[in-house]
Amino acid sequence: MLPANVERDGMSNYPHLLAPLDLGFTKLKNRVLMGSMHTGLEETRDWNRVAEFYATRARGGVALMVTGGMAPNKEGGVFPGAAGLFTTEDITNHKIVTDRVHEAGGKIAMQVLHAGRYAYGPECVAPSDIKSPISPFKPKALDAQGIEKQIADIVTAVVRAREAGYDGAEIMGSEGYFLNQFLVTHTNRREDEWGGSYENRMRLPVEVVRRARAAVGQDFILIYRLSMIDLIPNGSTWDEVVTLAKAVEAAGATIINTGIGWHEARIPTIATSVPRRAFTWVTKKLMGEVSIPIITSNRINTPQVGEDVLTDGCADMVSMARPFLADPDFVAKAQAGKAELITPCIACNQACLDHTFSGKMSSCLVNPAACHETELVLTNAATPKSVAIVGAGPAGLSTALAAAQRGHKVSLFDKADEIGGQLNMAKQVPGKEEFVGLVDYYHAALAESSVSLFLGQTVTADDLTGFDDVIIATGVMPRDPQIAGQDGPNVLSYIDVLRHKAPVGQRVAIIGAGGIGFDVAEFLVTNDSPTEDLDAWLTEWGVGDPQNMRGGIRPEGPQPEAATRQVTLLQRKAQKLGKGLGKTTGWIHRAALQMKDVQMIGGVNYEEITKDGLRVSFGETRDDPQLIEVDTIVLCAGQLPERSLADALIAKGVTPHIIGGADKAAELDAKRAIDQGTRLAAQL
Ligand code: FAD
Ligand code: NAP
Ligand code: SF4
C-alpha cells in the first residue's frame, strides 16, 4: 500500500513507461501490460476470488491485463478440466471479473490458449502426429475438417470473451502451443494447404486472427502473441517472423506481443539466472516492420528496466507478469516516485510456476497474498500490541512489516550488522543477483515503516520482557555431518565460503547436494556471473541472432566459460542429484553445472577426510572405497533450527511464536519463511 503523502513524481522518472497509448477506439493509460499467467484461480470457480485478484491489480494502475489461458475446447486445454468459456454460465461468471476490473478503472483481455500437442491428455491434436519431448501424449494429426473446427472454436472463444465484457482477447501464438506448431516444420509435416510452404504453414494463425476480427468488430483489442525466437531446432527464421507479423497486422490484430522460446526449449527464458531484459533486442528487430504497437517481455521487473527498454526503442509497451504477483501496486508506486517500495519479483518461480506445474494454486514467494487476496488480508489491528521480533531474515522481516502495517508497535532485533539473514549468502551466488534487490527492498520498506530496528544485538531471554508478543525468527545453524577428519584445515562450511569468503583450493568436494550445495558449486566454478553480462550469457546458452540462424540456436551449441575450479558434488542418496530443486528451475541448475564439468556423485558414504582429500565408499556394504583427491572440502549437509533463544524463553515461562527456520529447518526456504511470517502477523 502506498503511504498517503507521497508525491506523484514518477512521470518524470519514467516518461516512456507511463505515457498513454492511443489504440484509436480506446486508450491505454500507460505502457504496462500484465502478461498472462496460469494461476489456477479460474479452476477454483470462486469468481469473487478471481475478480479480487484482477481488481487489486487494476487498482494498482496497470494499463491492461491478460488473463491466464482459457481453453477454446476440451482437446485444446492445457490439462483436462482447464477453464474456458464453454457455457452461458461461464460467460456470466467471467462478467463478475470484468465488471470488478472496470469498476476499479482497469482494462482486461482474455487469453485464448489452444495447447495443441502440449495439451496434457490423450485427446490432444496437432498439425502432425509428432509427440513433444515434454508430454507423454502423442497428438492426433488433424484432418481438414478438424482444423476448421479448431479455428471455429478459437474464434468462438474470442467472441465469448467480448460477451463476457473483456476489453480484448490475446490469441496465444507462441511458446510452442497449437498455432506455433503450425508454423515450423519441426511440428508441421503436412502436405495440404496447412503445411509445406511458409505461406501454407502460417495460414492457420492468420486465419484465426482474420476470422476473429471479422467476428468481434473493430472496437475490440486483439493481441497476437508471436514467437519472436523459438529457441528450438528448425524454428522460424527471422524473415518468417516478420512475414507473419505483417500478415497478422493485415488480418486485424491491434497489438503484437512477444513470445520467447518454446516450452520444450533447453534454454532458460525467465528464470532468475536469465539476465534482465535478455530478449528485448529480439523484439526491437520487429520495430518499424509493422505499424501496430509491439510489446516486449521476459525478465523485466523494475520500472527503470521497463523505461530503459522503451527508451532504447525495443518496443511500444512492456509486458510483466510475475512482477504483478510480487506487487499489484507496481505501476502506482512507479507513478508515485516510490519504485524502491515495489516488492521485487526475484524470478525464482518457487511459488508461481513451480506451484502451477505441481497442480497447486499459484502465489508469490515475496508476496504470499498473491492469489489469496480474499483470505490473507492485513486489516488494522483492533488492539495495537508491542511486538518483539528476533531475527531479521525473511521470516522476521515479513512479520515485522506486516505487523507494523496493521498498527502494531514492532521492535526488530538481529545480532548481525545487516538485515536479510541467509539472503545475504544467497545473493553472492552467480545467477541469484535478484536477491540483492530483495534485501534492498526490505531496507526501503523498513525505513518507510514504523518498525524500530536494532542491529548488532544478540538478544537473550532477559531482553525480551515487557512485550505483548515475542516472535523468534532466529533461523538455522548448519548440520554437523560428523565425518572423521572434518576439523582439518582443508574443511570449510558454506558460511565460510559465501559469507566470509574463505580461500578455497582449485579442486573441491562439496558434501551435500541440496539447494545450498548446488549454489556453492555454482559460486566456485564461476568467475564473472553471466547473468550480469548479456553477451556472455547468450554465448553460454548458445543463443544467437534469429536473423542469422533459425530459431536463434547457435550451431556450435552452448559455449560456457571454462570452470574456475574442478568441483565434485556429492550426496548419500542413490538418486539423481538435484531432484529436490525447483520443478521449473532444477534442470537449469543441473545443466549449468554439467556445462562446467562438475562431477555429480550419489550413493556415497563419507568415510574420512584426510589432508589429501575425501575418502568415500558406496552402498550398504561400503564397496569400492576411493579417495577423491581435493584441496578443499565444503560442508553443505543441511541445517537445523536455531532454537536456543526460544528454549531459554520457554524455560522462563514465556511462550514465544516460533517461525521460519527456527520453527522447522527441513525443507525450509524463503517462501515458507515469508508466508509463515506474514500469516502470523495477520493474526496478531
Ligand atoms: P535466516 O535467514 O537464517 O535469518 C535468521 C536471522 O536471525 C539471522 O539474521 C540471524 O543473524 C538472526 N539471529 C539468530 N539468533 C539471533 C539472536 N539470538 N539474536 C538476534 N538475532 C539472531 N531460499 C529460497 O527460497 N530460495 C533460494 O533460492 C534460496 N537460496 C539460498 C541460497 C543460499 C546460499 C542459502 C544459504 C540459503 C538460500 N535459501 C533460499 C534459503 C533461505 O535463505 C532461508 O530459508 C531463509 O533465509 C530462512 O529465513 P529465516 O528468517 O527463518 O532465517
Ligand atoms: P537440503 O536441501 O536439505 O540439503 C542438504 C544436503 O545435505 C542433502 O544433499 C543431503 O543429502 C545432505 N545431508 C543431509 N544430512 C547429512 C549428513 N548427516 N551428512 C552428510 N550429508 C547430509 O539443505 P540445504 O542445501 O542446506 O538448503 C537449505 C534450505 O535452503 C533448503 O531446504 C532449500 O529449500 C533452501 N534453498 C533453496 C534454494 C532454491 O534454489 N530454491 C537454494 C538454496 C537453498 P544426503 O542425505 O543424500 O546426503
Ligand atoms: Fe516472482 Fe518468485 Fe514471486 Fe514467482 S514466486 S512471482 S518468480 S518472486
Same domain (yes/no): 128, 45: yes
Q: What percent of the chain lies above the pLDDT cut of 90?
A: 96
Q: How confident is the model at residue 10 (pLDDT cuts 50, 70, 90)?
A: low
pLDDT classification of 473: cutoffs 50, 70, 90: very high
pLDDT at 65 over 80: yes
What distance in angstroms lies between residue 473's CA and the mean position of ligand 3's atoms? 22
Q: What is the mean pLDDT of the chain?
A: 96
Provide the pLDDT for residue 12.
79
Q: Is the pLDDT of residue 196 over 80?
A: yes
135-148: average pLDDT: 97
**195/86 same-domain check:** yes
Residue 553 amino acid letter = I
- Asked if 501 and 587 sit in the same domain, the reply is yes
Ligand nearest to the CA of residue 37, numbered in listed order: 3
Q: Could you read off the pLDDT of 344-373 as tens digits, one per residue?
A: 999 999 999 999 999 999 999 999 999 999
The last residue of a domain, from among 311, 338, 365: 338
Q: Does residue 7 carry a pLDDT above 80? A: no
* Ligand 1 mutation target, pool 366, 427, 453, 474, most atoms within 8 A of CB: 474
- In this prediction, residue 5 has a pLDDT band, given cuts at 50, 70 and 90, of very low
250-288 per-position pLDDT tens digit: 999 999 999 999 999 999 999 999 999 999 999 999 999
Do residues 660 and 584 both lie within one domain?
A: no
Ligand 2, atom 26: closest residue by C-alpha: 638
Q: Is the separation of the CB atoms in 113 and 177 below 8 Å?
A: yes
Strand 613-618 and strand 623-629: the pairing is: antiparallel
- Domain presence at residue 622: yes
Q: What CATH number is given to the structural domain containing 581?
A: 3.50.50.60
Strand partners, 634: 492, 510
Looking at the structure, do residues 580 and 647 belong to the same domain, yes or no?
A: no
Q: Is 45 left (phi over 0), alpha (psi -120 to 50) or beta?
A: left
For the Cβ of 366 lying below 6 angstroms from any atom of ligand 3, the answer is yes
Q: Whose CA is nearest to atom 43 of ligand 2?
A: 515
User: Mean of the pLDDT values across residues 180-206?
Assistant: 98
In a domain, 552, yes or no: no
Q: Which of 422, 425, 493, 494 to mutate to test the pocket of ligand 1 (most atoms within 8 A of CB)?
A: 422
Best mutation site among 272, 572, 674 for ligand 2 pocket (most ligand atoms within 8 Å of CB): 572
Q: Which atom of ligand 3 is nearest to the CA of 346?
A: 8
pLDDT at 624 over 90: no
Which CATH number do you get for residue 471? Answer: 3.40.50.720
Domain edge (last residue) among 614, 637, 660: 637
Residues 393 and 251 grouped into a single domain: no
To the query of whether residue 606 is one of the catalytic residues in this protein, the response is no
Ligand 2 atom closest to 422 (CA): 30
**Phi (first) and psi of residue 495, to 5 degrees:** -70, -40
Distance 475 CA to ligand 1 centre (A): 5
Mean pLDDT of 488-496: 98
Q: Which residue has the higher pLDDT, 4 or 206?
A: 206
Looking at the fold, whether 153 and 13 belong to one and the same domain comes out as yes
With a cut of 80, say whether residue 8 has pLDDT above it. no
Determine, yes or no, domain membership for 547.
no
For residue 534, is it within any domain? no
| pLDDT per residue as tens digits for the range 94-112 | 999 999 999 999 999 999 9
Residue 195, all three cell numbers: 503445411
39-49 pLDDT, tens digit per residue, is: 999 989 999 99
* Residue having the nearest C-alpha atom to atom 8 of ligand 3: 345
Residue 205 lies inside a defined structural domain of this protein: yes
pLDDT at 92: 96
Ligand 1: centre distance to CA 586 (Å): 21
CATH number of 231's domain: 3.20.20.70
Regarding whether 303 and 283 lie in a shared domain, the answer is yes
Does residue 362 lie within any of the structural domains? no
Give the Å distance between the CA of 348 and the centre of ligand 3. Answer: 5
Distance CA 484, CA 527 (A): 32
- Do 466 and 522 share a domain, yes or no? no
DSSP character at residue 585: T
Ligand 1 within 6 A of 521 CB? no
- 542 in a structural domain: no
Query: How far, in Å, from the CA of 367 to the mean position of ligand 2?
Result: 25
Do 597 and 661 share a structural domain?
Answer: no
Of 538, 535, 548, 539, which Cα lies nearest the Cα of 235? Answer: 548
| Range 468-492 average pLDDT | 97
Domain boundary among 338, 357, 375: 338
Q: How many domains does the chain have?
A: 3
Q: What's residue 9's pLDDT?
A: 56
Q: Are residues 574 and 474 in the same domain?
A: no
Predicted local confidence at residue 11, as pLDDT: 64
Report the candidate in 485, 542, 16, 22 with the shortest Cα–Cα distance to residue 296.
16
Q: How far is the CA of 668 from the centre of ligand 1 (A)?
A: 9
Give domain status of residue 486, yes or no: no
- Ligand lying nearest the CA atom of residue 640: 2
Q: Which ligand is nearest to the CA of 606?
A: 2
Ligand nearest to the CA of 472: 1
| 4 pLDDT above the threshold of 60 | no
1 has a pLDDT exceeding 90: no
Question: What is the rounded average pLDDT of the residues 394-410?
Answer: 98
Same domain for 309 and 456?
A: no
- Tell me the backbone φ, ψ of residue 422, rounded to 5 degrees: -70, -15
Mean pLDDT calculated for residue range 113-133: 97
Q: Return the residue whose CA atom lies nearest to atom 2 of ligand 3.
A: 348
Domain that holds residue 304: 4-338
What is 275-326 written as a DSSP string?
PTTTTHHHHHTTBTTBSS-BEE-SS--SHHHHHHHHHTTS-SEEEESHHHHH
Distance in Å, CA 320 to ligand 3 centroid: 12
